[in-house]
Structure 1
Amino acid sequence: MSSECLFCSIVDGSIPADVVSETEHTVAFRDINPQADVHVLVVPRVHEADIASLAAAAPEVAVALIAETRRIAETEAGGQYRLVFNTGEAAGQTVFHAHGHVLGGQLHAALPS
């Protein structure tokens, strides 16, 4: 956990969020600036900068994160969704804690960061 990371603070409960689900390895919550009808962020409880770093450091957590995105997409978006992982500032990543965007329904804007 990083004391300066927004998502770490959501995971540990020190910053409130509209939590959709919690598992042993993940916390999922609604994006505060949704870019689609359904926009849920799924983050690992462990802090890694991006999905590639998470897969290298904790592959079992990366698999759990992907599995949870599917479960959320089935319940929140009827199983039809986009799953977006931004990696690096040039790709639009703004919070450097691995996270997947589950997007369902109509997109409201460009793909999220």
Structure 2
Amino acid sequence: MPVKVKWSGKRTLVTLVLLGGIGLLYVQGSDQRREQGQEGGAPASSDTSACRVESTEDGVRVRSAPAIDPANVVDELASGEEVDASTEVKNDFRKLSEGRWVSVDYTRPLEGTTC
């Protein structure tokens, strides 16, 4: 059974403002993705678009530089955690993003990606 709604001027105005706000947010999001080169959800950098890795152990340390130093640990990955990565490898560390590196000994490229 359909519900009848009495549309007063106030309800109509509130509805139009809400729909206009949603439309504005959508347009701004589209502009930001276009500026970042991510239209359609694709990553901006071709360096990270095709590479994705998975942690093979729990507590894999993510470092700020491609070197072992207790002071450069910035994060940890759980076993099986998947992250976007770069094809760049230095000193047996794969670059995940700016200031984030992980040992290649404790990660593996996901099937279907090119790392």
**Both proteins in one fold, TM over 0.5:** no
Larger Rg: 2
Give the TM-score of the pair, scaled to structure 1.
Answer: 0.26
Task: With the length of structure 2 as denominator, give the TM-score of the two structures.
Answer: 0.26
Relative contact order higher in (CA < 8 Å, ≥ 6 apart): 1
